[in-house]
Structure 1
Amino acid sequence: MKIRSGSPADVPLVLGMLDGAVEWLVARGWSGQWGTDPWSSRPRSVAKVERMIAEGEPWVAEIDGEPAGTLTLTSGPGPEVAPAGEPERYVHLLATDRRFAGRGVGAALLAHAAAETRRQGVDLLRVDCYAGSDGRLVAYYTGQGFTPTETFTVGDWPGQVLAMRVS
């Protein structure tokens, strides 16, 4: 697996991975996380991805030259979560292509995010996620070394913030 720096040219790739994730979640009856409509069909979601990639540090994992996953690091959370009050890096838009399920793509991207955070001299890496569906996603991040901190809600969407010290 190779992890390369991304760019605004990767917006269609990221949207495609997010669309695939929505399709996979919906097929399992888990529409609470991202709804039922593809990200690429929602203008506000497309604009959010474009903005995050332009302002942040996108990363793309590749297996045998094929895009397998992505995440974007920024200097802080979105508007629904309070900043940490210290320098931090924040994980956004983590998605993997289901063709590469079970190959550790998400774990590799999160390890890369931790290493990149450390390389930049920042001690705190945070992420937020959907806290519904019996906490499956929270458990995933906990298994990757993150610790749950505060919860939040956006409408009826339950969220969980998680943090990791990287030094």
Structure 2
Amino acid sequence: MAITIRDGGHDDIPAILGMLDSCVEWLAGQGRTGQWGSKPLSENPKTVESVTRYMDEGDTYIAEVDGVPAATVSLTDAPGAYLAHLPAGEPERYIHWLASDRRFKGYGVGAALLAHAAEETRRAGISLLRVDCYAGDDGKLVRYYESNGFSRVEAFTVGDSEWPGQLLARRV
């Protein structure tokens, strides 16, 4: 099994949405609908707009396993508007929409993309890489980022939804 990482583009949006839908299906199958609900994200116009916007504002990467798109991540210079109250106070690169097709769970594609994001951040002359994630349920997602070199910065909730989030950072 060979993991390669390439630049993503608009032609990859259907594959990216498929990865997100795969995550929703996997999470819902475990009864964990707090993060992204139970309906395919590809059916939500706001999700499609968000994926496209972060691609246009930054850089999107696709991890392939033996030539098959398996995971994705986008990097921009800032978090989403819902975290405007938690500024970095210095230049940063920010991770959005890290997701993998769950057929590739355990292959290391997410970790490979996080390592690539750190290297791209360092290459850009920036030393701070941040990400936020769902912090509810069993906290596995927060621990996943910690296992990839990130440290907790601040817990938060999104708007009136009370969606529990965790901001994490990594020095590169």
- Shorter-chain TM-score bucket reads over 0.9
Q: Does 1:105 align with 2:102?
A: no
Code of the aligned partner of 2:44: R
- TM-score normalised by L of structure 1: 0.97
- Give me the whole-angstrom Cα distance separating, in 2, the residues matched to 1:34 and 1:88: 26
The number of residues matched between the two structures is: 166
Give the Cα separation in 1 of the matches to 2:122 and 2:104.
Answer: 27
Separation of aligned partners in 1, 2:110 and 2:28: 20
Tell me how far apart the structure 1 counterparts of residues 28 and 50 of structure 2 sit (CA, whole Å): 21
The letter for the 2-side match of 1:22 is: V
Q: Which residue of 2 aligns with 1:151?
A: 155
Residue 145 of structure 1 aligns to a residue whose secondary structure is: coil
RMSD (Å) for aligned C-alpha atoms: 0.8
Does structure 1 residue 51 correspond to structure 2 residue 53? yes
Residue identity (%): 60
Structure 1 stretches of 4+ with a deviation exceeding 6 A read none
Please report the TM-score for the alignment, with normalisation by the length of structure 2: 0.94
Q: Counterpart of 2:70?
A: 68
Q: Give ranges in structure 2 of 5+ residues lacking alignment.
A: none
Paired position in structure 1 for 2:21: 19
Q: Does 1:120 align with 2:138?
A: no
Describe how 1:2-17 pairs up with structure 2 within 5 A.
2-17=4-19
Describe the SS at the equivalent of 1:68: strand
Paired with 2:38 and 2:105, the residues of 1 have a C-alpha distance of 21
5+ long unaligned stretches in structure 1? none
